[in-house]
Amino acid sequence: MMYDFRHILSTYDISRDQAEFIIQTAKEFEPYAKKEKSSDQLKGKVMASLFYEPSTRTRLSFETAMLRLGGSVISVTDPNTTSLFKGESWGDTANMMSQFADIIVIRHPEIGVAQKFAAVSKAPVINGGDGMSQHPTQALLDLYTIYKERGGIDGLTIAMSGDLKHGRTASSLAILLANYNVKFRFIAPKELAMKREVKDLLTAKNIQFEETENLEEGIVGVDIIYMTRIQKERFESIEEYEKFKGTYVLHRKLIEDKNPDVIVMHPLPRIDEIHPDVDDLPNAAYFRQAGNGVTVRMALLSMILGA
Amino acid sequence: MMYDFRHILSTYDISRDQAEFIIQTAKEFEPYAKKEKSSDQLKGKVMASLFYEPSTRTRLSFETAMLRLGGSVISVTDPNTTSLFKGESWGDTANMMSQFADIIVIRHPEIGVAQKFAAVSKAPVINGGDGMSQHPTQALLDLYTIYKERGGIDGLTIAMSGDLKHGRTASSLAILLANYNVKFRFIAPKELAMKREVKDLLTAKNIQFEETENLEEGIVGVDIIYMTRIQKERFESIEEYEKFKGTYVLHRKLIEDKNPDVIVMHPLPRIDEIHPDVDDLPNAAYFRQAGNGVTVRMALLSMILGA
Amino acid sequence: MMYDFRHILSTYDISRDQAEFIIQTAKEFEPYAKKEKSSDQLKGKVMASLFYEPSTRTRLSFETAMLRLGGSVISVTDPNTTSLFKGESWGDTANMMSQFADIIVIRHPEIGVAQKFAAVSKAPVINGGDGMSQHPTQALLDLYTIYKERGGIDGLTIAMSGDLKHGRTASSLAILLANYNVKFRFIAPKELAMKREVKDLLTAKNIQFEETENLEEGIVGVDIIYMTRIQKERFESIEEYEKFKGTYVLHRKLIEDKNPDVIVMHPLPRIDEIHPDVDDLPNAAYFRQAGNGVTVRMALLSMILGA
């Protein structure tokens, strides 16, 4: 196939055709990610896993994907390691790392670091999350989860709830989904409403979206509800926070009463946004979603590095 | 063979037959652990090494065992990583990790975390030490060391010295040895005497044990002396500590005078409980014991994950 | 061949014949380090990567070399891990580690730790940098870089600039180069002049060296300029520092005006000693030098551990 993914930096760069190709490739990797088969496709290849911001989940998901393809991993996991290179330019670090590794996964609290890396790197760069901006592989595994849970993407209505202003997962996914014929419902306190740029993109693409502050109403009639965390410290006053506290918690009764067919997703870790009484419902897709992370990342590594 | 070890959580769960089987399996892995042969038995398998409490020795011993079987490793080594998951339930973490890895080794300062993991995990869980409670693989390598050094277990008298109240290694081993026809001598200050529950178990099983505060007397006539550390901060007063300070230090002269045939063991690291002048005596088994850790862990990983 | 490198601890121990042999072996590993070929030569071997001082560059360079030879890696990367072994002797740590691993790479802020390790270790030990003293594998990759950039070593004049008193890279390299027919020019403030012991060695071997405080003069006529960092905190007064600040910065104009053929090296990371406008000149060898680190370390690991 003709999809040349040199870097994976942002969901803005991923077309519908590319997304479809990733979904189809991921399907082939299911038995490998599910530990039913093992692969040696990337034997002899080295992935650099550079996590300048702690994220055990994303890091281990990538490392598992690389190891299950027969590759190996070098890693930087200490967030304080940044100070190591204090004063060193990203260009110098990227130059060195790309001489060592065949592919680089980088996570950093600053927006744009993955792009800076890619500008210099001799090896492909995958953005493992940069500040509040982008988390493209999370969006791809979320897309794959929606595809698997619903059997397709077109025609769906997707609700997103939580801190849509600061969270990078919901916005990265919305940008990716904007390639499809979908509708959105954004459920968030006004202070934490979906980013302007995302809404502008949707408008430009003639994609319908609604906004509401109310989870109980927001969940009605949607195919997917994508929950994210609301953080107390994001509010201007305690009073503001108290107003919303607990109203963005999804529990079993709400699903049963308002939308018994909804698929519930969450990028994890969850704190209290989804009550544990939801876990045993077939609706709860968030653990399957975490497993899909390995599948999709195997597909991506294979597409980029495979022969 | 019929021994199905899904998890290894506590020496309370390990029967004599199982222990024997582990010993026999470990013998087969000697040439692999001693770097004379190499194995690919666990090629394609991934071990998650989750050390929420620092323990380079146990972690590297497990990782070496997995790598020498041809498997690979993902790891969490930063004790502060716990904060990563602050608020996330053990269940959620275990669910995710067990989707990534084929087997999980977990060490945590809190008692019972390995059990909580195992309750949810889809993959086998090995307790790599939980607080003051259990360290079952240490007990198994200690048992294997006794077997190798003495040619058998039944009929032996085993002395244990040090902080027997808080230390998990001595009590885990005593519980395992309670499956055999052995006698114990517990050498410790009253304040740090062997745990009540262990003594109750021995009593229930009609296993003889003596208690003494005196190392010089305690060492006489035993087959094995298992030394552990005494920590100053465990005493109620400095005066209490001063009384014992130095009296729990094993040195060459004491061995030569009181029990020239005794086998000296220590889970390591040692601080000053064993004087370096003991190191060159054939009695000193503690370095061999550390090496046995890789052997026994290879056997365990192979038994649990091997075809 | 007859070169038995049990340990690599110091460039004082490396003869010209050995250095030549390493250079020739490294040449054979170029296609492997450049990712054009892959090797399984060290399959089944385990390298312990013990970095008690942070050094992502050196650590990842060694780990990449081991992985590209088909071996595997266990590692300690947290500098605070030293406290783990607080009170444990280096001998005990070395004994244990050498039972686990086939080879040990150790970096430590204290001078002489690698030697202490090697004295006890049952496995070969490579010094990955000990305090201000030695960094022999850096010196070997620097030597290899000079060889590649200049086509040989004899007859060259090598300038070294920066903090030659505290830096271990320049002095380790100078000691290694003292096996060859070379001349030196040391460019440093008086306070940071090349170590006495190095100058004594050169004098004893009848190797010419000049000393100057002036970079603009020092660069004239040399074949290689080896830049290192000057640290503010090394000066007795701010006034002293201000005197030199900026005068040890190499920029494009200086090269073009004074020595357009000079090869520029730097062990990296650089802060501001080399202006980025030098990067695009063919003279800039420092990124190629970083890549040579993997090549030379592959050669060393293969020589020590290969069949």
pLDDT tens by residue, C108-138:
989 999 999 999 999 999 999 998 999 999 9
With contacts defined as CB-CB under 8 Å, which chain A residues touch C39? 44
Residue of A92, A24, A100, A26 lying closest to A297 (CA atoms) = A26
The answer to whether C129 and C135 are in contact (CB under 8 A) is yes
Considering only alpha carbons, which residue of chain B is nearest residue A70? B44
Q: How confident is the model at residue C40 (pLDDT cuts 50, 70, 90)?
A: very high
pLDDT tops 60 at residue A243: yes
> B-C interface: how many C-beta pairs under 8 angstroms?
60
Cα separation, B53 vs A134, in Å, equals 32
pLDDT less than 50: residues of chain B: 1-2, 82-84
pLDDT of residue C81: 54
Mean pLDDT, residues C47-51 taken together:
96
Identify the chains in contact with A, defined as 3+ C-beta pairs within 8 A. B, C
Q: What percent of chain A has a predicted confidence (pLDDT) above 90? A: 81
Cα separation, C95 vs C46, in Å, equals 15
Out of A69-73, A190-194, A279-283, B143-147, which region has the weakest mean confidence (pLDDT)?
Answer: A190-194
pTM: 0.96
Q: Do C77 and A77 touch (CB under 8 A)?
A: yes
Which of B84, B96, B102 is most worth mutating to test chain A (most A CB atoms within 10 A of its CB)? B96
DSSP secondary structure string, C37-64?
S---TTTT-EEEEEESS--HHHHHHHHH
pLDDT of residue B307: 67
The answer to whether A285 and A261 are in contact (CB under 8 A) is no
With contacts defined as CB-CB under 8 Å, which chain B residues touch C97? 60
Q: How confident is the model at residue C3 (pLDDT cuts 50, 70, 90)?
A: low
* Burial bucket for residue C224 (CB in 10 Å: 0-12, 13-18, 19+): buried
pLDDT tops 50 at residue C2: no
Q: Which of residues 263-292 of B touch C (CB under 8 A)?
A: 268-272, 276, 287, 290-291
Q: Is B62 helix (H, G, I), strand (E, B) or coil?
A: helix
Considering only alpha carbons, which residue of chain A is nearest residue B95? A287
Considering only alpha carbons, which residue of chain A is nearest residue B90? A269
Containing B155, the helix (H) or strand (E) segment is none
Q: Which of residues 9-68 of A touch C (CB under 8 A)?
A: 43-44, 46, 48
pLDDT of residue A115: 96
pLDDT tops 60 at residue C220: yes
pLDDT tens by residue, C82-111:
444 557 888 999 999 999 999 999 999 899
Mean pLDDT, residues A41-50 taken together:
97
With contacts defined as CB-CB under 8 Å, which chain C residues touch A47? none
Higher pLDDT among residues A89 and B223, named by residue = B223
| Radius of gyration (C-alpha) of chain B in whole angstroms | 19
Per the prediction, chain C carries an average pLDDT of 93
Identify the chains in contact with C, defined as 3+ C-beta pairs within 8 A. A, B
β strands within C60-205, DSSP E:
72-76, 103-108, 125-130, 157-161, 183-187
CA distances A39 to A23, A296, B45, B270, C99, Å, are 19, 15, 11, 43, 31
Cα separation, B199 vs B173, in Å, equals 13
Pick from B35, B68, B270: CB nearest C92: B270
Q: How confident is the model at residue C242 (pLDDT cuts 50, 70, 90)?
A: confident
With contacts defined as CB-CB under 8 Å, which chain B residues touch C88? 268-271
**Is any Cβ of chain C less than 8 angstroms from the Cβ of A74?**
yes
Pick from C44, C81, C92: CB nearest B38: C44
Considering only alpha carbons, which residue of chain C is nearest residue A85? C269
Residue of B114, B118, B119 lying closest to B130 (CA atoms) = B114
Distance from CA of C39 to the nearest CA of A (A): 7
Containing B97, the helix (H) or strand (E) segment is helix B90-100
pLDDT tens by residue, A118-139:
999 999 999 999 989 999 999 9
**Is any Cβ of chain B less than 8 angstroms from the Cβ of C119?**
no
Cα separation, B273 vs B250, in Å, equals 6
Per the prediction, chain A carries an average pLDDT of 93
Residues 6+ apart with CB under 8 A from A94: A104, A116, A117, A118, A119, A120, A121, A125
Q: With both helix axes pointing from N to C terminus, report the angle between C90-100 and C113-120 in degrees, rounded to the nearest 10.
A: 60
Q: Is C292 helix (H, G, I), strand (E, B) or coil?
A: helix
Distance from CA of B68 to the nearest CA of A (A): 15
Considering only alpha carbons, which residue of chain B is nearest residue A40? B44
**Is any Cβ of chain C less than 8 angstroms from the Cβ of A119?**
no
pLDDT tens by residue, B89-99:
889 999 999 99
CA distances A196 to A31, A130, A240, Å, are 40, 18, 21
Q: Which of residues 215-274 of B touch A (CB under 8 A)?
A: none
Pick from B72, B93, B99: CB nearest A291: B99
pLDDT of residue A265: 98
With contacts defined as CB-CB under 8 Å, which chain B residues touch A77? 77-78
* The pair of three-digit structure tokens given for residue C85, joined into one six-digit string: 């072994």
Which of B57, B231, B279, B289 is most worth mutating to test chain C (most C CB atoms within 10 A of its CB)? B57
What residue type is A84 in one-letter code?
A: L
Q: Which domains does chain A have, with CATH numbers?
A: 11-134+290-305 (3.40.50.1370), 137-289 (3.40.50.1370)
Pick from B84, B92, B101: CB nearest A270: B92
> Could you identify the residue written with the tokens 């990028």?
A267
Q: Do A76 and C60 touch (CB under 8 A)?
A: yes
With contacts defined as CB-CB under 8 Å, which chain A residues touch C70? 44
Residues 6+ apart with CB under 8 A from B246: none
**Checking DSSP bridges between strand B125-130 and strand B157-161, what pairing results, if any?**
unpaired
With contacts defined as CB-CB under 8 Å, which chain B residues touch C93? 269
CA distances B178 to B10, B82, B145, B222, B262, Å, are 14, 35, 16, 16, 20
Pick from C44, C81, C99: CB nearest B290: C99
Q: Do B57 and C96 touch (CB under 8 A)?
A: yes
pLDDT of residue B232: 74
Which of B100, B116, B122 is most worth mutating to test chain A (most A CB atoms within 10 A of its CB)? B100
HEC states along chain A? CCCCCCCECCHHHCCHHHHHHHHHHHHHHHHHHCCCCCCCCCCCCEEEEEECCCCHHHHHHHHHHHHHCCCEEEEECCHHHHHHHCCCCHHHHHHHHHHHCCEEEEEECCCCHHHHHHHHCCCCEEEEEECCCECHHHHHHHHHHHHHHHCCCCCCEEEEECCCCCCHHHHHHHHHHCCCCCEEEEECCHHHCCCHHHHHHHHHCCCCEEEECCHHHHCCCCCEEEECCCCHHHCCCHHHHHHHCCCCCECHHHHHHHCCCCEEECCCCCCCCECHHHCCCCCECHHHHHHHHHHHHHHHHHHHHCC
